[in-house]
Amino acid sequence: MSVKALKNARLVAICTPDNIGRLMGKRVPIGRWPEIAAEGMKMPSFHLATGIENVPALDLAVAGYHTGWRNGLLMPRPETAVSTSLEPRTAIVLADVLDIDGAGVAEAPTAILARQVDRLAAHGLRATVATELEFYLYRTSYHEAHIRDYRDLEPYYHLRGGHDVLISSVAESFTEPLRAILAEAGMSVESTLGESGVGQIEINLTPRDPAAAAYQHVLFKYLTKGLALREGLAATFMAKISPTLPGSSGHVHIQVTDAEGHGIMGAAPEVGSDAHRLSPRGAAFLAGVLAYGRDFQLLHTPYHNSFKRLQPHCSAPTNMSWAAENRTVMVRTLGCGAQLRIEFRLPGADMNPYFSIAGLLAAGIAGLEAGAPPPAPLAGNAYTADPVAAPPLVRTLGDAIAAFEDSAVAAKALTPAVRDHLARLAKTEWMAELGVVTQWEIRRGFERA
């Protein structure tokens, strides 16, 4: 990611992530770049209110008819500029969100994450973050999928491809050019693999600081969908695409370090001791992630569909538990000593990384400030764990909203105004869900009710 991306550009796409994690903005001629780089670009405030259907919520304090949907400013950050062969004459530049007077907007996703990074820095700590994303790839184009009402789509291969190198090779006609495009955008891929679903792929990205990891994540989805559009294919990051197929995860790996970048989560190895031992600060951070899992669950599972992924024996957590090298828990620890990190397994591929990483950091910081130890790690199958030892996650969007609204920890971490903003956005999504009558309900109840 470099200003070199601007040298050959004819257009600059100045954008910022919205509440879904989509890049929203405008494409402007390169001749306007010096002016916009210095003064910012005027942008309507719709992006602060949009939901998944790109329709704005109407009861938000930050933007709405009561504000006249006034303009704000997108202030570009030249160091984030990227250009790829997918759009060879366009440079994409991430922007900070300001109001028309030049003040920062606390409700913007980039600002929400930046606040947690600053709070962690106040403890003398930093974090490196990497996301691993699963998605389903179809030979059916987005246009044809829409015409078919997203039914009877043809996966890239007809068998489950979990770690099967032969089956994943079939997808290389897509994943090979995708990796090349990602490299052009300054991203490194650690691994590509077939996942357990029919047509499911996982790609793991290298660690970055939290803001860079979140930007990398949204760029990854943008470029994956863009390549699929160009090739007449379709890729979906829905958390649960089918009741008979595994969900798609968006696991977050995080390592907390000191200001010099040395890992602080693991205890120094000792002969005869548990190799996965936590340091006092590592234990406190983990304790917060576990204790406040429900407080921030809304930021990790933002849609009705998100909760359908959280099923027993589907490699997704159902309770607030942890263990070393265990894929049935919510938090898996990996490595030891200075290399110890955690894998947070709650988010699906549908999460907004700015919100999810912010929520993860906020919970960990609350743990650091409380200083309490975590519960004992679980042994074996977390799905059958005693609910006293492993309290269950909430099971519905409405319950996640209620837990978030009632959380003093969330209010302190995010500010009450931002917490209320995010809760109101979620309520708009919840009301959309409650207004739908599905064919499943009609089949069950038409004669029997």
Distance between CA atoms of residues 171 and 157, nearest Å: 8
- Location of structure tokens 């899992």: 293
Instruction: Return the pLDDT at 2.
Output: 66
- Per-residue tokens: 321: 């538990």
Mean pLDDT confidence for 266-292: 82
Alpha helices in 232-330 (DSSP H): 280-291, 297-300
Q: What confidence tens digit (pLDDT) does each residue in 288-333 have?
A: 999 999 999 999 999 999 999 999 998 899 999 999 989 999 999 9
Is the pLDDT at 274 greater than 90? The verdict is no
Mean per-residue pLDDT over the chain, rounded? 95
Mean pLDDT confidence for 103-112: 97
Distance between CA atoms of residues 266 and 335, nearest Å: 8
CA angle (182 as vertex; 176, 183 as ends), nearest 5: 90
Instruction: Return the pLDDT at 283.
Output: 94
Is the pLDDT at 220 greater than 80? The verdict is yes
Q: What is the DSSP letter of 396?
A: S
Mean pLDDT confidence for 385-414: 97
Is the pLDDT at 275 greater than 60? The verdict is no
Residues in the chain: 449
Instruction: Return the pLDDT at 272.
Output: 45
Q: What is the DSSP letter of 174?
A: H
Distance between CA atoms of residues 210 and 107, nearest Å: 17
Residue 368: what residue type?
Answer: L
Instruction: Return the pLDDT at 176.
Output: 97
Mean pLDDT confidence for 125-133: 97
- Per-residue tokens: 199: 């047509």
Distance between CA atoms of residues 443 and 131, nearest Å: 39
Instruction: Return the pLDDT at 5.
Output: 83
CA angle (300 as vertex; 297, 306 as ends), nearest 5: 100
Q: What confidence tens digit (pLDDT) does each residue in 191-210 have?
A: 999 999 999 999 999 999 99
Instruction: Return the pLDDT at 270.
Output: 63
Q: What confidence tens digit (pLDDT) does each residue in 36-84 have?
A: 999 999 999 999 999 999 999 988 999 999 999 999 999 999 999 999 9
Is the pLDDT at 271 greater than 70? The verdict is no
What's CA 288's distance to the chain center, in Å?
Answer: 19
Distance between CA atoms of residues 43 and 70, nearest Å: 8
Mean pLDDT confidence for 246-264: 96
